[in-house]
Amino acid sequence: MLYIMLAGGKSKRLGFNKLLISVCGLPLVWVSFIKYKSLGFDLKVAVSKHTSNEVIFLKFLGAEIIETPGKGYSEDVGYLLKLYKEPIVLFSADSIYLKKEHIKYFLSKTDHQSISAAVKRRNKIVYVGMNYAVPGCEKDKIIFLNDKKLSYSINVIEDLEVFKKWLWKNGCYSLFQ
């Protein structure tokens, strides 16, 4: 199976480059890459023209880089599906709370169709930055995970503040459990 971390966004909602935020003394993009690699995935990283600074950090870690057009999430995923012509497990680089048990449960629900992971927060569906994309399968099924903190994926200042408080309370080691 192909695993790709998406690190090519513009960070428009947050207003500054979230992937370079310092987390435990390292850029968030490093922490995310190391975390997913430590879970045993043969991980590639999708970047775009919007994330040239991240590429420098990722190459230092030996990441296999894939350049996408950077036109938006759906467009970039479509590009990756056309490029590889096989199902892809996608992780957003800012989905910092995902753990192996979340991923294992999610992947057990694939059934050869596209799926997206989500949680309910304040009676709204919040996507958590994990997808299983299948070529030719335009419509995806939502798989709900039972962990509310997954809804905070550092897209807005509120999410960043929640993450900082959680990290202060739980420590850096908890990111890799």
Please check whether residue 126 is in contact with residue 151, taking contact to mean a CB–CB distance below 8 angstroms: yes
**Which fold would CATH assign to domain 2-176?**
Spore Coat Polysaccharide Biosynthesis Protein SpsA; Chain A (3.90.550)
Report pLDDT digits (tens) over 107-141: 999 888 999 999 998 889 989 989 999 998 878 89
Query: Mean pLDDT over residues 141-161, rounded?
Result: 82
Q: Quick one: pLDDT at residue 11?
A: 66
pTM recorded for the entire structure: 0.86
Report pLDDT digits (tens) over 27-51: 888 888 888 888 888 899 998 887 7
